[in-house]
Structure 1
């Protein structure tokens, strides 16, 4: 069907150290391609097959969004009614949460092992950091709220609801939701970028990233999932507010606009997972590419070749958002000092902006670190360094620190402090923890 696909997939696996990749294409409503390459389990030598089930990471959001829309069609959820909760601003609506405009920050609390107990309580981070509707910020917390809302509105657990209302009507026999896959299919084990096997990964936000499926399941869902909805709801799902020059975010889907074919997509990435779901409506075509490596390079190489051959004019910029691009920093030199608000109390932080594109960062009682400073569309000053935020949660597996702040008219710098882990070259991917922060001229 696509010249050179076998060679491209095999080369991508070898070049990027990826264990396996599975691809599927649905044209109109027919599965016309389903192939897999490499090993689903390196230790046993078990090969990947088209029936192999992969973790989906954030492609799960498209399933959650479709289920919310189905509940809205049935009168169980009002997309524009405030979601119950104690919030510092107006409560967000499901529509805002679906479009990542509900005011929640970025967050994930991955934890590994057979014990499903999560040492990091998601409720400590379920706090709005901006007025809902005022801007885009990709947030697992927002989709966690949608999952809770679905369970409350339908009276079903989320896993059962997604299976009964979406997977079964569409014939997605491999779909499942949970920290580990409990379905009938063979599973692709997850591997770090340098080939170490992951343990079972748990998180407090399954609605945002705990899905499992085959590539064929994802291609079928991409073509048919939105057809489960009423026409007006389907139109709302694809009414994507801009998040960049070529892309907008609708309900669990990124939608391209402008040059090239219209592309509806969602990618996924976490420890040992790199996935992509693509629909090109004008070609009545859907593509899924699933890989079991943290490194997305093999996935991207296969997507570029496969979709580029099937849909002339396609390029990576039609599926990969850059919602907060870097810009020249205009923050004046000076020193600011303040506090990071955490569940363990306030933690002191100071930054000194220099004239050469650098800044000095002082966190708690750590020695000062000089690091590169830059700005983005959203933030006037961004700095990061290998500094440990001294909270119980951050000490678990988030050894790096970042500060992203904007300048206020009164001279303050307000924004976020983040504890995180940069990749999984050492150990496994760590939690991403966000805290409010305010600094004043020193």
Structure 2
């Protein structure tokens, strides 16, 4: 394949340009690996080179594994994909497994990364409330995949880690795969690095079924090619049945799906502290690709993916790298003042927004000094902004020092959500992303 000509030099340049320690690349044709090579260092301090046998964190490339586990259990009569989740739940409308796999369970975005000893200091229950009816709009959320992992365990009587290894990894010949907070071997593992080049400690989350996978690039490429063979034909087809999330992409059962001129491209990316991963499958061409990097910064991963896909499938939509369902538009909210509160686990937090004539907004949160920042709008929200203000709650103070809002004009006020988050890890470590209900009314 001529697409590999010059790849060694290209990857070396990309790693240097973006300060990424290493990247591992694998391609499968048919159901066999035809290319596997790694570049750079898996461990910078030790000078240990990355090799095709090096295992990387997968982050959200774990989701296709969890979705496949659900589909396998469904094929065996243990799960009904279109029945509400069994058991007692706190939601007014209980989503189905299919809706959860398609990221349409009604849950908001969420992640909780913690670098200390268990247990996690954040209770995710407050943040796991539905924000819309199941089956309606797409919103990418780890909450749904957490529920799917629990469902597999309830239906099979096995820990998810065991089920994934025994029913997926072993039958597919994936010798490196594991699901765990930290990889235990026996394969060598790539150290994970911040965007600034610092080593990350082990990371705990409340949603391992959404992002705690580990594997080599070769095993990810083979998973992409071989996994459909574990399913009944109708279920394998359903994996690629992706309701639209934008003009060119949909989201199926754990796969981003592009249909172009009768052909299909499916993918899933992953990113978290020290992880930038990508899996791509072209079923009509019996071809798959995996690119794994050990940096929070996705720039090196993206450059390698785009370079390879330009030769393998020029119709590849770059939106696969960061699927978006909400387009930016002009900010048209009239100048004025709005006041209300943010609902948090610690009670109501006062919030005031003063919309200024220059498309800027003065934000007053609790008793903190106001901050004036630019605002934008989108298809879904009439005002979106972010600031360096600290939401004064115990959860947010742990490691979520930035504050943002996404609000729409509704019933004479502004309604939506306020986020506490950590904006990257060039300083410190990537922290939790916590969404809170928010409502404001006109103020004098």
Bin of the TM-score, shorter chain as denominator length: over 0.9
TM-score by length of 2: 0.97
Give 1:436's aligned residue.
437
Equivalent residues of 1:246, 1:259 under 8 A apart: no
Equivalent residues of 1:261, 1:311 under 8 A apart: no
For 1:19, which of 21, 24, 27 is the aligned residue? Answer: 21
Task: State the distance in 2 between where 1:167 and 1:158 align.
Answer: 12
Change over 3 Å in CA distance of 1:320–1:397 after alignment to 2: closer
Task: State the distance in 1 between where 2:10 and 2:119 align.
Answer: 41
Change over 3 Å in CA distance of 1:319–1:431 after alignment to 2: closer
Task: State the distance in 2 between where 1:319 and 1:260 align.
Answer: 21
Give 2:92's aligned residue.
89
Equivalent residues of 2:269, 2:320 under 8 A apart: no
Task: State the distance in 1 between where 2:264 and 2:155 align.
Answer: 33
Equivalent residues of 2:373, 2:386 under 8 A apart: yes
Give 1:105's aligned residue.
108
Task: State the distance in 1 between where 2:281 and 2:394 align.
Answer: 43
Task: State the distance in 1 between where 2:382 and 2:139 align.
Answer: 16
Other structure's SS at 1:263 match? strand
Give 1:270's aligned residue.
272
1:168-213 Cα shifts (integer Å, max 9, x gaps):
0100000000110123100000001111000001100000000000
Root-mean-square deviation (Å):
1.3
Task: State the distance in 2 between where 1:97 and 1:362 align.
Answer: 36
Task: State the distance in 2 between where 1:260 and 1:118 align.
Answer: 46
Shift of 1:92: 1.0
Task: State the distance in 2 between where 1:405 and 1:307 align.
Answer: 37
Other structure's SS at 1:223 match? helix
Shift of 1:350: 1.0
Shift of 1:225: 1.0
1:368 maps onto 2:370 in alignment: yes
TM-score by length of 1: 0.97
Which stretches in structure 2 are left out of the alignment for 5+ residues?
none
The 5-angstrom pairing of residues 151-166 of structure 1 reads: 151-166=153-168
Count of residue pairs brought into register by the alignment = 440
Equivalent residues of 2:124, 2:206 under 8 A apart: yes
1:351-377 Cα shifts (integer Å, max 9, x gaps):
112222111111111111111111111
Task: State the distance in 2 between where 1:358 and 1:331 align.
Answer: 10
Which stretches in structure 1 are left out of the alignment for 5+ residues?
none
Give 2:81's aligned residue.
79
For 2:57, which of 52, 55, 64 is the aligned residue? Answer: 55
Give 1:229's aligned residue.
231
Shift of 1:333: 2.1
Task: State the distance in 2 between where 1:85 and 1:342 align.
Answer: 24
Task: State the distance in 1 between where 2:24 and 2:163 align.
Answer: 26
Other structure's SS at 1:241 match? coil
